[in-house]
Structure 1
C-alpha cells in the first residue's frame, strides 16, 4: 500500500525551571495515499485540449480573415475586426455553459453559436479559395474552427450534470423567484427616486403658496400673543394621526404645539409619545 507523509501539530506540555506551558509539537506521520483519480485526470486533459483547440482556432481565424480584410482596409483594423468572427461563437459557448441549467435560454445561445461558427468558417473558406485559387485549402482552413468548437462541446459534455425533469422544474421555479427579487431592486430604487422628486416638487409648490404674505398689516397683533399664530381649521372628527398631519401641513412644527392642537381637535387625552411617534413618521 502506498503511503504519504503529512505534518500533524498538537499541544504538548513542556516544563522549564519547574514552569509548565502547553506548546506546539510538530511530527510527520505516514497515512495511506488515496488512489489516483484517473477520471479527473482525463477530464482535466480534455478541458486543456479544448482550450488549446479554441486558442489555435482563434489565432488561425484571426490571421486568415485579417489577411482577407486587409486588402480593403488598414491592417490593424482588419485584424482587430477578424477577432470578432471566432470570438462570437466562443462567447456563445460560454453563455451556453453558464445557462446549462436553463435549457430554454441555453438553446438560444446554442443556435446563435452555430450561426456564428458558420459565418466564421465561410470567411476562412473565402480567404483560402481567393488566395490559393483552390477550394481544398479553403475547406481545410475552415474545418479548424469546426474542430475547435467540437472539442469544446465535448469538454462541456464531460463537465455537464444533467437534471431529471422534476429537479429541472424545481430549479426553474427557484430561479424565477430569486430573479424576481433581483429585478425588483432597481425597480424599487427607480420608484423611490421618482417619489423623492414628487415630494420635492410638492414641497417647492407648497413653499411658493405659503400664506406668509397674506395680510401685510400686522400692527394690531402682538409678537407675544399666542393667538396671533395661525391655527389649522378642524373640519369634523379627526384621528390623532390626521390631526398631527394637519398641524404639520399648517406649519406647526413644535411638538408641544402639535400636542396641544391634537388634544384640542382630536383627543383630549392624547399621549405625548404617541404624537411624537406620528411626527417622526410624517417627517
Structure 2
C-alpha cells in the first residue's frame, strides 16, 4: 500500500507497511488437531498393520494387512469429499465403523493368539485404533458443513445440472466414436466388395445394355430413405457427369446430408461404373 505525502508543493509516494493481521486461533487450533489426529492415525495404522500381518503369518501377510488401513484412509477421504452432502457421507461413515470393528477384532485376536491369558493386551491393543477413529471422527465433525434443507436442495440441483452436462458430453463423445468406427467398417466392406467385383469382372459396364440418357433430376427411390453412402452411389450412377461438389449440392437439395469430401471418399472405393441405376 502506498501513501502520498505533500510538502512545499512537492508530492511524493512512499510505501506504508500494513498492520499484521491478528492470529486466527480457530484455524490454528483446527490445524493442530488435524496434525495430531493424522499422527494418531499413523500410529494406529502401523500398529494394526503389524498385528494383522502377524496374525496372517507375516511376509505377504503384512501386504494383505495394508488393505485394511488403505481402506480406512479411502473412507476418510470420501467422507471429507462429501462434507457438503450429509446424505452422501453417511455411507463412508458407516463403512468406516465396519472397517474399524474388523480391525479391532483382528488386533485382539492376534494378541490372544500370542498369549491366551493376556486379555488386557488384546483389549487395549485394539483400543488404539478406536481412539484414532474417534479423534478422526471429531475432526471430521468439525470440518463437515451443516446446511439448511433449502441450501441442501439448491446444492443438489446445481450439482445435478453440472453432472448431467458432463454425462451428456460423455455420451455424445461415445456415440461419435461408435459412429466413426461404424463408418470405417462400412467403408472397408465397400472397398472389399469393389475388389471382389473387380476380380470377377463385375465392374465392367455392359456394352450390350441400352444406354439411357440421364434425366435432369434423380428418379425414385427417394434418396432420403437410403443411407448416405448408397444415396451417393445411386446419384453418381444417375448423373455421372457431375463432379463431387455438384453431387453434394444436388443431394443436399434432395434432403441428403453429405459433403463433397464424403462423396469423393465413397466414389474412391466404388467407381461410378460399378453402381447400378
Q: TM > 0.5 between the two? A: yes
Higher strand share: 1
User: What are the Cα deviations for residues 167-216 of structure 1, in whole angstroms up to 9, with x where unaligned?
Assistant: 10111111112112222333222222221233233334444555875574
Pair 1:27–1:69, CA change in 2 (3 A):
farther
Larger RCO, structure (CA 8 Å, separation 6 or more):
2
Which aligned pairs between 1:124-163 and structure 2 lie closer than 5 A? 124-133=107-116, 134-163=118-147
Q: Kindly indicate whether the alpha-carbon contact (under 8 Å) linking 1:231 and 1:250 is maintained by their aligned counterparts in 2.
A: no
**1:28 Cα offset (Å):** 6.6
The counterpart of 1:234, out of the listed 189, 211, 219, is: 219
**1:144 Cα offset (Å):** 0.5
Pair 1:84–1:257, CA change in 2 (3 A):
closer
Q: Kindly indicate whether the alpha-carbon contact (under 8 Å) linking 2:44 and 2:128 is maintained by their aligned counterparts in 1.
A: yes
> Which residue of structure 2 lines up, in the alignment, with residue 3 of structure 1?
none
**1:156 Cα offset (Å):** 1.3
**1:67 Cα offset (Å):** 1.9
Q: Kindly indicate whether the alpha-carbon contact (under 8 Å) linking 2:52 and 2:65 is maintained by their aligned counterparts in 1.
A: yes
Pair 1:216–1:91, CA change in 2 (3 A):
closer
User: What are the Cα deviations for residues 112-150 of structure 1, in whole angstroms up to 9, with x where unaligned?
Assistant: 111111000000011112213221110100000011011
Say whether residues 1:258 and 2:231 are aligned partners. no
Say whether residues 1:190 and 2:170 are aligned partners. no
The counterpart of 1:116, out of the listed 85, 99, 116, is: 99
Which aligned pairs between 1:194-233 and structure 2 lie closer than 5 A? 194-207=178-191, 213-214=201-202, 216=204, 233=218
Q: Kindly indicate whether the alpha-carbon contact (under 8 Å) linking 2:247 and 2:260 is maintained by their aligned counterparts in 1.
A: no
The counterpart of 1:92, out of the listed 72, 75, 97, is: 75
Pair 1:104–1:280, CA change in 2 (3 A):
farther
User: What are the Cα deviations for residues 210-255 of structure 1, in whole angstroms up to 9, with x where unaligned?
Assistant: 587557466789xxxxx8999985128989xx99x94565446724
Unaligned runs of 5+ in 2: 4-11, 264-277
Pair 1:86–1:43, CA change in 2 (3 A):
same
> Which residue of structure 1 lines up, in the alignment, with residue 38 of structure 2?
51
Q: Kindly indicate whether the alpha-carbon contact (under 8 Å) linking 1:89 and 1:114 is maintained by their aligned counterparts in 2.
A: no
Unaligned runs of 5+ in 1: 1-7, 11-24, 222-226, 268-274
Q: Kindly indicate whether the alpha-carbon contact (under 8 Å) linking 2:44 and 2:132 is maintained by their aligned counterparts in 1.
A: yes
TM-score, normalization by structure 2 = 0.70
TM-score, normalization by structure 1 = 0.69
Tell me the number of residue pairs that the alignment of Structure 1 and Structure 2 aligns: 242
Say whether residues 1:177 and 2:161 are aligned partners. yes
Pair 1:195–1:41, CA change in 2 (3 A):
same
**Cα distance between partner residues in 1 of 2:29 and 2:103:** 30
Q: For 1:32, what is the secondary structure of its paired residue?
A: coil
